[in-house]
Amino acid sequence: MRYRSTRRKKIQRKPDTHKKISYQYIFLFVVFIAFSVFITMEGVSSGNELKELEDDARSLSKENRELSEKLVESSSLQDKVRQAKKLGFDKPTDIVYLDGEVSVASLR
């Protein structure tokens, strides 16, 4: 029978590369999360800008429609008749005829 030696052999351990690799993975994961947050924030700000531009376009379209309606309304014949009445171009009730003998602008 052999006797086992009571002395244990020293086991040489390799440097802890496992910990280095796990730290690298953690670092990459943190960088990935930070990049994802950055891209998300950029997307949200772009979405807000797009919404503002769409609102501006909608309000300009509404204003354009209102101005077009005003243009059509102001160029209509009924509006011209109304304007003429305001300026005094109404059908006369008293008609005055001038005699042919009366000279309006004559040379003396």
More confident of the two residues 21 and 84 = 84
Residue 107 domain flag: no
* Number of independent structural domains in the chain: 1
Residue 36 domain flag: yes
Residue 5 domain flag: no
CA distances (Å), origin 107, targets 24, 52, 99, 104:
113, 74, 18, 10
More confident of the two residues 89 and 92 = 89
Q: Residue 45's domain spans which residues? A: 18-86
CA atoms of 39 and 46, how far apart (whole Å):
10
Residue 98 domain flag: no
State pLDDT tens for residues 30-83: 999 999 999 999 999 999 999 999 999 999 999 999 999 988 887 888 888 888
Residue 45 domain flag: yes
Say yes or no to pLDDT of 3 above 70: no
Residue 92 domain flag: no
Residue 12 domain flag: no
